[in-house]
Amino acid sequence: MEQELAALTERLAALESASAMSGTINSEIFYWWCTALMIAIHAGFLAYEMGASRVKNVLASGIKNILAFAFMVPTFYFFGWYIYLSFYNGFLPAEDASGWPWEMSMGPNLADNATGIFWAAFTLFAATTASIFSGAVIERIQTAGFLILAILLGSVVWILGGAWGWHPTGWLTVKFGYHDVGAAGVVHMVAGFFALGVLLNLGPRVGKFNADGSANAILAHNIPFTITGLMLIIVGFFGFLGGCIIYMPGEQWINIYGQPTTLSAFAFNTLMGMAGGIIGAWVKTRDPFWMMSGALIGIFAAASGLDVYYPPVAFVLGTFGGFVVPMVAVWLEKMGIDDAVGAFPVHGIGGLIGVISCGIFAAGYPNVDGMPPVSLWGQIVGAVTMALLGFVPGYVASFILKVLGLLRVPDHIQEKGLDIVKVPVAAYPENFIPGPVNTSTPAGASAAAAE
């Protein structure tokens, strides 16, 4: 009998161990595919920015976006992940600082199924912030200056905001109950306000504004390509938002702050916000570019409270954002600021709507471990923090690059086209005319036609 009980106990322990490992691997698989899906965001940004560019700048815009993605990976490995895990109290690292690239967890380790996959997801978040900024500055920023700014934003600035407000012990959460599960503030506001700071120093594209300050339309060369790119970004954001929720094997899902939630809540509110954004932008503009941008705005407007909103609330927020943000884009242009794709209005203002709305519609939602509940004041503090965290480094760094002559492409090169000067291949070679065209009909051709 004792032998049978011992054997049964051993088999039970083996089953429990196998079940635990199965849960661990399922969690790893979930974030693997979230990361893979997020790459669609960058395929979308690539199409979006190239379509929004003029023919003479198409490939230069694409190269900039590809390089931003590539540079995020090593820089986030060497110092971005460390910033997230170590700077949650402010500008100084915590005593339990971790995430150094030489730690055992930062490479193949059979005892650690989590670090690599979470690092990969956060690296894609970083690349997303850089791509948000990238669109605003197309057609006139130098590659070297852009890469410096992209690394600063993607592997330093946004992840510092993430440590403060998207971390279970970040100071914004611990002191103010800041709630931003879908990263409306820590990703979109930071990236949008960073872009605004850069734009003030970068200046407009040649020909955008007249001497009297009036604006000229600089038309995208391929609107269908741009709209398709926006749809791809939306697809990728389902991976992005999936990466914002914590898979707990054998238990309920939790959000980034440790509060219980469900993936179903994210599904309800993401789709409702997206639909509202499309409808709001359609009512305001009738423009398919803004309708698809409105889908993103709607997601951002609901993002902070995706885990708690009643879905019609997400729809109303999305509709409001989709209607209002295009007006911000018009106002920005009247101020003499050339945001080529509306990055600041869409992400900066869309994210701001998301953060503040959570303080109104989710006020009082309880936190964990005795931290303050969600409040309007906490969300306002968080919004101001994210706006400043984005704008100040963007403005200061771009000003330094401007002084050093590393920020803006010279006007005569802009007029000629960045592709001709900086790219060794042509985007549309079959349409390229190398010199003067002779419109007269050759004699031989005339004779052949007469026969």
Please check whether residue 152 is in contact with residue 72, taking contact to mean a CB–CB distance below 8 angstroms.
no
Q: Within a domain: residue 5?
A: no
**At residue 437, does pLDDT exceed 60?**
no
Confidence band, pLDDT 50/70/90 cuts, at residue 431? low
Q: Within a domain: residue 236?
A: yes
Q: What is the pLDDT of residues 296-337, one digit of tens each?
A: 999 999 999 999 999 999 999 999 999 999 999 999 999 999
**At residue 111, does pLDDT exceed 90?**
no
Give the mean pLDDT of 414-437: 77
Please check whether residue 236 is in contact with residue 42, taking contact to mean a CB–CB distance below 8 angstroms.
yes
Q: What sign does the dihedral 174-180-181-183 (CA atoms) show?
A: negative
pLDDT for 125 equals 94
First to last CA, the chain: 109
Q: What is the pLDDT of residues 255-289, one digit of tens each?
A: 999 999 999 999 999 999 999 999 999 999 999 99
**At residue 435, does pLDDT exceed 70?**
no
Confidence band, pLDDT 50/70/90 cuts, at residue 440? very low
Mean pLDDT is lowest, of 169-183, 239-253, 305-319, 332-346, for 239-253
Confidence band, pLDDT 50/70/90 cuts, at residue 172? very high
Mean pLDDT is lowest, of 11-15, 82-86, 102-106, 130-134, for 11-15
In which residue are the tokens 């060369």 written?
A: 221
Q: Within a domain: residue 17?
A: no
Question: What DSSP assignment string belongs to 244-269?
Answer: TEE--TTS--EETTS-B--HHHHHHH
Q: What is the pLDDT of residues 7-32, one digit of tens each?
A: 777 777 766 666 666 778 888 999 99
Give the mean pLDDT of 291-297: 96
The set of residues, in sequence order, having a beta carbon less than 8 Å from that of 353 and lying 6+ positions away, is 184, 297, 300, 301, 317, 320, 321, 324
Q: pTM of this prediction?
A: 0.91
Q: Within a domain: residue 105?
A: yes
pLDDT for 451 equals 40
Which residue range(s) make up the domain with 185? 23-429
For 248, the token pair is 């707990």
Q: Residues of 89-125 as b/e, b for ≥16 C-beta within 10 angstroms? A: beeebeeeeebeeeeeebeeeeeeeebbbbbbbbbbb
Strand boundaries in 216-323, DSSP class E: 245-246, 254-255
Give the mean pLDDT of 108-113: 89
Domain count, the chain: 1
Confidence band, pLDDT 50/70/90 cuts, at residue 436? very low
Q: Within a domain: residue 119?
A: yes
pLDDT for 370 equals 87
Please check whether residue 212 is in contact with residue 277, taking contact to mean a CB–CB distance below 8 angstroms.
no
Q: What sign does the dihedral 390-392-395-397 (CA atoms) show?
A: negative
**At residue 153, does pLDDT exceed 90?**
yes
Residue type, 95: E
CA angle (410, 416, 421) in 5-degree steps: 75
Q: Within a domain: residue 439?
A: no
Confidence band, pLDDT 50/70/90 cuts, at residue 438? very low
Long-range contacts of 27-30 (CB under 8 A, 24+ apart): 27/113, 27/114, 27/247, 27/248, 27/249, 28/113, 28/114, 28/117, 30/242, 30/247
pLDDT for 439 equals 41
Residues of the chain with pLDDT > 90, as a percent, come to 82
For 333, the token pair is 């242009």
User: What is the average pLDDT value for the chain, to the nearest integer?
Assistant: 91
**Which position has the higher pLDDT, 180 or 444?**
180
Domain at 70, CATH number? 1.10.3430.10
d(CA 439, CA 451): 22
Mean pLDDT is lowest, of 141-150, 244-253, 254-263, 439-448, for 439-448
pLDDT for 429 equals 79
pLDDT for 450 equals 38
Q: What sign does the dihedral 429-431-435-441 (CA atoms) show?
A: positive
Give the mean pLDDT of 114-127: 93
Confidence band, pLDDT 50/70/90 cuts, at residue 445? very low
Q: Within a domain: residue 324?
A: yes
Strand boundaries in 236-375, DSSP class E: 245-246, 254-255
Q: What is the pLDDT of residues 353-408, one digit of tens each?
A: 999 999 999 999 999 888 999 999 999 999 999 999 999 999 999 999 999 999 99
Q: Within a domain: residue 98?
A: yes
Q: What is the DSSP letter of 98?
A: -
